[in-house]
A and B are shown apart, each in its own frame.
Chain A
C-alpha cells in the first residue's frame, strides 16, 4: 500500500513545488466552492461542458490558452531569474531542466496551439458564412481531448514529477535509463491525447472550409485568415500522424521495453530526432500561418485598404507548407550526415525565406496609399513587421549549415526562435484577441492601456532576447542551468532578466486591461466597431447561436465581403428567414475524454487494470454514439425573427 502511494510522490521536491501544490489545491477547492455556492454546476454543464457551438468551444480554447500562457510565463521567469546572476542557486540543475522542458511544451502545445485553434473555431465559420463547423460533436471531442492532455501534462508537476528531457525529448536522454521519473511518460501520453484532438480539429476544419462555404465564395474569395487556417489544418493532418508514431514508439520503449531508440540491440536514437522534427518543423508553420492570416485581417482593416497581392499571399503560404516538410534536417545539421545532405537542407531552408519575404513586402505594400489608423491591434502588427523580419533573417543565418555548427544549441538559436514566435505568433494572438474582443464579448478593450502594453512588451522583448544573440556567439550554450563569473555572460543575462520582467509586466497589463474594460467600457457598441472588412463582421454582436439569420450570398462578393456590402452596396443577405437546423448538445465528448484521461494517467504509472478500464470506457462511449439516433433540432423561422428583432432594439447593428 505504501509503495502504491510512494510512486505518486515528487522524486525531486522543493519548497517552490510544495507552495505551488498547496496553491493549486486551495485554488481548486475555492473554484469548486464558488461554483457550488452560486449554483453554477448546471449552467456549466448545459452551456459549456456539453456545448457543440464553435464559438463557445473557441472561447474554452482561449481560456485554456491564457491559463497556459500564465503557467509557461511563470516557468520563463524562473529560468531567467536563475540565469540572472552567475552561479545562482535559485533552481538546481534538475529543477531547471524540468522547468525549461515544461516551458517549451506548455508554450508550444498548450498555449500557442489552443490559441490558434480558438481563432480557427471562432472565426472560420463566421468568415465563410457557415452555421457551425462540419462536425460539431467531433469539435467538442477535439477540445476535450486537448483539454485532458493539457490537464494530464500539468498534473506531472504535482504527481510523479515533471518531464526533464527538454521539449524535444531526445532519446536516449528520455529513456528510462537517463530520465528516471515518470515525467517523460506524462510527456509521451499527454501529447498523444492532445495530439489526437488536434488531428481531429484538422480533419474538421478542412472539411468545413472545403465543403461549407457560403454560396458564391470560391476558394480565391476566401478571407486570408480562412486560407491560412485551411493550409495550417492540411499541415496538421499530414504532420501530426508522424508525432503519433514517434510518441507511440517512445511510449513503447519506456513502458514495454521495445528497442526503437535504445543504445543497443539495433536501437537508433537519431530516428527519434528525425521523426520529431518531421512533425516539429511543420508544427511551427501550423502556428505561424494562422498568425500571418490574422495580421492580414488586421493590417487591411487599419490601412483601410484591400490586401496587396492576395494571390501571391495564398501561393506563398502553399509554398511554405510544402517546403515545411523538406527542411527538418536543419534542426541537426551537426549530426554528421555529411556536406551533401547539409547542403540540400541548407538550400531548402533558405528557400522558405522567399515566400516569407513576399508576405512581408505584401503587408508593407498594403500600407501604400492607405489611410493608416493606429489602434492596438494595428500596433501589434506594426511591431510584428520589423521584429519578425529580424527573426527571419537570423533564421537565414541558421540555415547556413556550416555557420550553424557555431550557432546550433546556443543562446543564438534560443534568441532566433523566440524572435519569430513571440512577434510572430504571440503578437498575432494578442492583436487578434484585441481585434475580435468586441465581436465576442460586446465591449472594447481600452486602447490606451492596450497600446502601452504593446510598447512595454516590445521593449521587454528586445531587452530579453537581443542579448542572447550576443551571448550565443560568445559560447553560451542553451539549457545550461548556470554559468561561472569568468564566462562574462553575467551582464547580458541580467539585461535579459530585466527584459523578461518587463514582458511579465506587459502581460499583467493585458490582464488589467481586460478587468478595467470589463468594468468601464461602453456596452453600447455597434457590431462593427473597427470599420472592418470581412464577412465575420456582417453579423450581430454578440454573435447569435446560428451566426447568420440568412446564409450570406457571395456571388458578387470578394474576400472583403462586408466592405463590399458597406461601400459598394453589394447585397449579402438575400431571401427570407427559414427554419435553421442546429446540432444538439452532448455530454459524450466530455465523458469520453475523461476515460482517455483515466487511461492515460494509469498508463503513466503502468497501472494496467485501470488503463484497460479507461480504454473500455472510451470504446463504450463510442458504442453509445454509434447506436444513438440524433438528428439535431430546428430553430423555427419565427424564433429567428424574434432574436433578430431583439438586436435591433438593443442598439447593436
Chain B
C-alpha cells in the first residue's frame, strides 16, 4: 500500500505541474485584456488559491488519518472507541466554511455589480452600442451609431466602453470573448446587455459558447480592437466601399449555414428590429417570474 500512497502523491504533483505549465502559457481567461475580464481573472486566481488551500487541508487530514490509524499499525486486539462527536469540533467544522462562504459572498456580490455595469475606469464615457445578434450559425454586428453592419467579425475602438445588446434569430446562443469578459445569452424574445471594454488594441477570439445545433462549433468570430482614429477610419472606409444591407439580402443570410466576413452599410435593425421585451441587466429583480412580468409590460 505504501507504493500506492506514493503513486497518489506523484500523480498529484504531476497534475500540479501540468496545471502550472498551463497557467504559464496564459490561458485565455487568465490573460485578460479588459476591466471585466480582469475582474473575473482576479476572482479566478483568488478562488484557485483559496480552494487549493481547502483541498490541501482535506488531503493532509486524510493522509494523517490513513497513516496513523491503519489496522496494520495497531495491535490486533485494539478496539476503536465509540465517538459521537464533540460540539467544539463540529462548531469549527461548520464555522470555518461559514466564514469562507461569507467572505466569498461579499466578493461575489461585488463582482456581480462590477461586471454588470460600465467597465471600471471608463464610467465617464458614453458607451458605444453594438447589437450582436446570432442566427444559425453566424453573428451579425449592427452599429446603429455608425450605421454599419458586419457579419462574423467585430471591430471595436479600444479604451471605450462597449454596450453589447444581444439577441438571437433562433436557438439560444452565448456571446463570449474570453479575453474581454465572460459570456451572456442571446435569446429570441428579449435583449440582454453585456458591458465590455478593451484596454488596448489587439485581436481576440470570440465565439458562441452555447450549443445551438450542427454548426455551433464553427460559430466563431474575431474581435479586433483598435485606436479611435483607426476605428473612425474603418467606419469611413466602409461607408465609401460597402453595399447597403437590404431586407432581401438579410433574409437570405438568416438561412442556416456558415458565412465568411461580410460588411454592409445600414443595419438590419431598420427593417427587422430587435425584440422589444427589454432585459436590461441593471434592473433589480429578485426572481425570474417577477422579472418576466416586468418585461411583458
Query: Does A480 touch B at the CB level, under 8 Å?
Result: yes
Query: Given A339-B113, A343-B112, are A97 and B187 neighbors across the interface (CB < 8 Å)?
Result: no
Complex Cα–Cα for A178 and B169 (A): 12
- Which of B1-49 touch A at CB < 8 Å? 1, 4, 7, 11, 15, 18-19, 22, 25, 27-30, 37, 39-41, 43-44, 47-48
Known A335-B185, A338-B283; judge A170-B171 contact (CB<8 A): yes
CB distance from B9 to the nearest CB of A (A): 11
Judge whether A374 is part of the interface by a CB distance below 8 angstroms: yes
Chain B positions within 8 Å of A393 at CB level: 51, 54-55
Q: Please indicate the chain B residues that have their CB under 8 angstroms from the CB of A351 in the complex.
A: 101
- CA distance in complex: A408, B174 (Å): 9
Is B116 on the interface with A (CB-CB < 8 A)? yes
B171–A178 touching, CB < 8 Å: yes
Q: Which of the segments B64-72, B124-132, B233-241, B242-250 contacts the partner chain?
A: B64-72
Contact of A357 among B18, B44, B48, B97 (CB under 8 A): B97
Residues of A within 8 A of B114 (CB): 402
> Are B71 and A371 touching (Cβ within 8 A)?
yes
Q: Which residues of A contact B109 (CB under 8 A)?
A: 339, 343, 346-347
Contact between B97 and A389 (Cβ–Cβ < 8 Å)?
no
Interfacial chain A residues near B285, Cβ < 8 Å: 337-338, 340-341
Q: Write the chain B residue with the least CB distance to A568.
A: B82
In the docked arrangement, what's the CA distance between A264 and B82, Å? 65
Q: How many residues of A contact B (CB 8 A)?
A: 102
Q: Which residues of B contact A350 (CB under 8 A)?
A: 101, 104-105, 108
Contact with B along A469-494 (1 / 0, CB 8 A): 11001110111111100001000100
Within 8 A of A (CB), among B95-151: 97-98, 101, 104-105, 107-109, 111-116, 136
Interface presence of B223 (CB below 8 A): no
**Which positions 134-187 of chain B face chain A at CB distance < 8 Å?**
136, 166, 170-172, 174, 176, 178, 181-185, 187
Tell me the nearest residue of chain B to A393, going by C-beta: B51
Contact with A along B211-251 (1 / 0, CB 8 A): 11111110000000000000000000000000000000000
Interface string of B183-194 (1 = CB under 8 A from A): 111011110110
Asked if B74 is at the interface (CB within 8 A of a chain A CB), the reply is yes
Whether the Cβ atoms of A474 and B47 lie closer than 8 Å is no
Q: Which residues of A contact B181 (CB under 8 A)?
A: 405-406
Nearest Cβ in chain B — how far from A558, in angstroms?
9
- B25: chain A residues at CB < 8 Å are 488
Residue from A346, A406, A488 with most neighbouring chain B CB atoms (10 Å): A406
Chain B residue contacts of A274, Cβ below 8 A: 288
Instruction: Check: A20 CB closer than 8 A to any chain B CB.
Output: no
> Considering the chains assembled together, what is the distance between the CA atoms of A296 and B58 in angstroms?
17
The answer, yes or no, to whether B260 is at the interface (CB within 8 Å) is no
What A residues does B58 contact at CB under 8 A? 360, 364, 385-386, 389
B84 within 8 A of A: yes
**Contact call B185/A336, Cβ cutoff below 8 A:** yes
| Interface check B259, CB cutoff 8 A | no
- Taken together as a complex, chains A and B put the C-alpha atoms of A393 and B57 apart, in Å, by 12
Contact present for A403 and B44 (CB under 8 Å): yes
Query: Which A residues touch B90, using CB under 8 A?
Result: 309, 312, 358
Contact among A312, A386, A400 with B43 in the assembled complex (CB-CB below 8 Å): A400
A403, B94: Cβ atoms under 8 Å?
A: no
Residues in B with CB closer than 8 Å to A341 are: 285-288, 291
Residues of the A chain whose Cβ atoms lie less than 8 Å from the Cβ of B283 = 338
Q: Are A303 and B112 in contact (CB under 8 A)?
A: no
For the complex formed, measure the closest distance between the CB of B295 and the CB atoms of chain A, giving whole angstroms: 10
A451 and B244 CA atoms in complex are apart in Å by 69
Closest approach, in angstroms, between the C-beta of B82 and any C-beta of chain A? 5
Query: From residue 201 to 216 of chain B, which have CB atoms closer than 8 A to chain A?
Result: 205, 207-216
Cα distance, A338 to B278, chains bound together (Å): 12
Interface segment out of the listed A265-273, A285-293, A431-439: A265-273
A95 to chain B, nearest CB (A): 10
Chain B residues whose CB sits within 8 angstroms of the CB of A399 once the complex forms: 108
Q: Tell me the smallest distance from the CB of B86 to a CB of chain A, in Å.
A: 9
**How many residues on B have C-beta within 8 angstroms of the other chain's C-beta atoms?**
103
Q: Which residue of B lies closest to A454 (CB)?
A: B4
Distance of B288 from chain A, by nearest CB (Å) = 6
Q: A473-B28, A475-B205 are in contact. Are A466 and B15 (CB under 8 A)?
A: yes
In the bound complex, how far is the Cα of B59 from the Cα of A338, in angstroms? 38
Tell me if B282 is interfacial: C-beta within 8 Å of chain A. Answer: yes
Given A351-B101, A402-B114, A466 and B30 touching (CB < 8 A)? no
Are B81 and A369 neighbours in the complex by a CB distance under 8 Å?
yes
Q: Tell me which residues across on chain A come within 8 A of B43, comparing CB atoms.
A: 400, 402-403
Tell whether A404 is near chain B: CB-to-CB under 8 Å.
yes
Q: How far apart are B52's CB and chain A's nearest CB, in angstroms?
A: 8
Taking a contact as CB atoms under 8 Å apart, the answer to whether A269 and B66 are in contact is no
For residue B284, CB closer than 8 A to chain A, the reply is: yes
* Chain B residue at minimal CB-CB distance from A495: B18
Q: What CA separation (Å) do A399 and B112 show in the bound complex?
A: 12
Per-position binary interface string of chain A over residues 321-365, scored 1 when its CB falls under 8 Å from any chain B CB and 0 otherwise: 000000001001011111111111011001101100110111011
Q: Given contacts A341-B286, A466-B18, are A396 and B47 in contact (CB under 8 A)? A: yes
* A56 in contact (CB, < 8 A): no
- Is A652 an interface residue when CB atoms closer than 8 A count as contact? no
Q: Does A594 contact B (CB under 8 A)?
A: no
Give the complex CA separation of A303 and B90 in angstroms: 20
* Contact, CB under 8 Å: A336 / B182: no
> B28 and A367: CB pair below 8 A?
no
| Segment 295-321 of A: residues with Cβ below 8 Å from B | 303-306, 308-312
In contact, A93 and B188 (Cβ under 8 angstroms): no
Interface string of A600-618 (1 = CB under 8 A from B): 0000000000000000000
- The answer on a CB contact under 8 Å between A459 and B182 is no
Determine if B69 and A346 form an interchain contact, defined as CB atoms under 8 angstroms apart. Answer: no
- Does A365 lie within 8 Å of B182, measured CB to CB? no
Q: Kindly state whether residue B200 has any CB partner on chain A within 8 Å.
A: no
In contact, A353 and B101 (Cβ under 8 angstroms) = yes
Give a binary string over A418-451; 1 marks a CB under 8 Å from any B CB, 0 the rest. Answer: 0000000000000000000000000000000000
Judge whether B85 is part of the interface by a CB distance below 8 angstroms. yes
Contact indicator B211/A166 (Cβ below 8 Å): yes
Q: What's the minimum C-beta distance from A167 to chain B, rounded to whole angstroms?
A: 11
Interface contact B184-A334, CB-CB below 8 Å: yes
- The reply to whether A93 and B215 contact each other, CB–CB distance below 8 Å, is yes
Residues B85 and A470 in contact, CB atoms below 8 Å apart: no
The reply to whether B182 and A311 form a contact with Cβ atoms under 8 Å apart is no
A237 beta carbon closer than 8 Å to chain B: no
A406 contacts B29, C-beta separation under 8 Å: yes
Assess whether B80 is interfacial by the CB under 8 Å rule: yes
Contacts of A269 in B (CB 8 A): 172, 187-189
Is A173's CB within 8 Å of the partner chain B? yes
Does any Cβ of B come within 8 Å of A94's Cβ? yes
List of B residues within 8 angstroms of A373 by Cβ: 71
| A385 to B70 Cα, complex, angstroms | 17
15 additional A-B residue pairs with CB within 8 Å, beyond A341-B285, A358-B97, A400-B43: A93-B217, A177-B170, A263-B170, A268-B189, A338-B284, A338-B285, A343-B108, A358-B94, A365-B83, A406-B37, A462-B11, A470-B19, A475-B27, A477-B207, A483-B217
Could you jot down 28 A-B contacts, CB within 8 Å? Answer: A93-B214, A93-B215, A173-B172, A173-B211, A270-B292, A303-B69, A309-B90, A329-B288, A336-B166, A337-B279, A338-B291, A339-B281, A346-B108, A360-B58, A361-B93, A364-B62, A372-B65, A372-B69, A374-B70, A382-B66, A390-B55, A402-B115, A404-B182, A406-B182, A409-B174, A466-B15, A475-B27, A475-B207
The 3 closest A-B pairs by CB, nearest first: A405-B182, A402-B111, A336-B192
